[in-house]
Amino acid sequence: MKTRQIGRSGLSTSTLGLGCMAMSEFYGAFDETENMATLERAMELGITMLDTADLYGDGRNEELLGRFIAQTSHAPLIASKCGIVRTDEIMSDGNFKRERCGTPDYITASCDDSLRRLGIDVIDLYYLHRIDPNVPVEDSMGALAELKTAGKIRAIGLSEPTADELTRANTVAPVDAVQSEYSLWTRLVEDEVLPVIRDTGGTLVCYSPLGRGLLRKTGAPPKLDADDFRRTLPRFTQDSFDANAPLFDLLDEVAADAGVSVPQLMLIWLLDQGGDIVPIPGARKIAHLEQNAAAVDLSVDRAALDRLSAAFSPDAVVGARYTEGKAVKAG
């Protein structure tokens, strides 16, 4: 497995990381034994970065990784996050209401709680999961910088900042990594945020690089469990799926011509966008994990990649990535 740098932190990661969110929540049923086997196989394949957050499973995802760390002979690079707070209020779509918090005291306490759940002394990469609109980003960054000085974290990250927020944050301390949704289906980061990441020497860590599993099977959307939150997303409705048929057709055509799977093609396209990009596709099954990992060593003709770039413009994709007003979601 090839490696890429994490900003200016001095840390390196496998070119592909593993998003662990679905191992505890949001994407339907999961199995502890299968999760552990998949995590171990990721290490065997050279995938070093395991991405979690205190939000996922209300801390249970970090506890899962803590159990894995305690039993494996490998030394994974752990990325975690704080900044999205669960509430007891249930919204009309059945999901719990989320709020943002970026106060220094909260960030410090959350890091300590994450360290305890993970069973480690230092978190390699620690993100503010979402920026709190009621707290200046400079204040939140100050708390993250203090955690780094104290040796509790090794690198600082922000998730889904605006270009302005990222610029301001870097005046306090280097933002080594920005985690944002980025895939052929969602390219909002390209115009404003990615240029700032590159100007400041950061790394873009891409969650949902496969469009949250937006893959066509037998002409229909993926079958989702009753508690899978993707049922609430506009892009997963049948109407959106039907409207996006030409894009699915193009993915099938290019993948077949190149001799790769559609998920591999999407990862190949993403990795081709720059050496400062690290996708973290989620996988609960070893077969999916191995297929994703193999994409790192595959290539597709330049003309074919350019076709995809032109076809998957933001205006061409039907269906918003979130329901209106629900942007503080999983990811």
Alpha helix (H) ranges present in 171-260? 193-199, 238-243, 245-258
pLDDT digits (tens, 9 = 90+) for 46-67: 999 999 999 999 999 999 999 9
pLDDT band at 229 (very low <50, low <70, confident <90, very high): low
pLDDT at residue 59, rounded to an integer: 95
Which entry of 56, 126, 127, 207 is annotated as an active-site residue? 56
Closest CA to 24 of 117, 108, 155, 128: 117
| Full-model pTM | 0.89
Please indicate whether residue 56 is annotated as part of the active site. yes
Average pLDDT, the chain: 90
Of 82-96, 129-143, 305-319, least confident by mean pLDDT is 82-96
pLDDT at residue 236, rounded to an integer: 73
Of 1 and 111, more confident? 111
Of 51-55, 57-61, 179-183, 235-239, least confident by mean pLDDT is 235-239
Tell me the C-alpha to C-alpha distance, in Å, between residue 231 and each of 70, 213, 257. 35, 12, 32
Please report, as a single letter, which amino acid is at residue 274: G
Structure tokens, 62: 């970090």
Please report, as a single letter, which amino acid is at residue 93: D
210, 190 in Cβ contact below 8 A? no
**C-alpha neighbours within 13 Å on the C-beta side of residue 195:** 6
pLDDT digits (tens, 9 = 90+) for 142-159: 999 999 999 999 999 999
The DSSP output letter for 54 is: S
pLDDT band at 325 (very low <50, low <70, confident <90, very high): very low
> What are the residues whose beta carbons fall under 8 Å from the beta carbon of 216, sequence distance 6 or more?
241, 248, 251, 252
Of 329 and 120, more confident? 120
For range 101-124, the mean pLDDT: 98
Say how many residues make up the chain: 331
Measured CA to CA, the distance from residue 253 to residue 244 in angstroms comes to: 15
Q: Is the pLDDT of residue 231 over 80?
A: no
Strand partners, 206: 180, 279
Closest CA to 112 of 151, 142, 75, 86: 151
